[in-house]
Amino acid sequence: MNILLRGTLLGIVAFGLAACASKSPGPLEGTWRMTDPFPLTVSFRRGELEAMGAVKRVSYKRYWSDVLVTYEEGVNKGASFRYTVIDADTIRSDSGTFRRVR
């Protein structure tokens, strides 16, 4: 019984650490381009996101293959957007599919 309890607690701690907010974009780091349904280029950097010429402070939270990007300032403050990592050069969001530029 003691081993089961330890395993459960270890699993809870590991899950909690995997979902911690961070300034690091992890697998999103770099520049990405989407062409459909409209052209958009987004750069994810440590603690910030650049899109359409505007740089905004953000935080990142990773859940397995998903990364939640939460705005810390501006009109979208508090809003989170989910990006799903498909492979090293492809991510998907509600807006569309992005391909890595660099």
Q: Are 56 and 71 in contact (CB under 8 A)?
A: yes
Residue 2 has a pLDDT of: 54
Q: How many domains does the chain have?
A: 1
Residue 91 has a pLDDT of: 97
Residue 21 has a pLDDT of: 74
Question: Could you tell me if residue 4 is inside a domain?
Answer: no
Both tokens assigned to 61: 């939270």
Residue 18 has a pLDDT of: 43
CA-CA distance, 93 to 40, in Å (whole number)? Answer: 12
CATH of the domain at 78: 2.40.128.280
State which residues form the domain around 74.
Answer: 21-100
Neighbouring residues of 44: CB distance < 8 A, sequence distance ≥ 6: 25, 28, 29, 30, 32, 60, 69
Mean pLDDT by 10 residues, the chain (102 residues): 48 46 91 93 97 96 96 95 97 96 85
Question: Could you tell me if residue 25 is inside a domain?
Answer: yes
CA-CA distance, 102 to 71, in Å (whole number)? Answer: 23
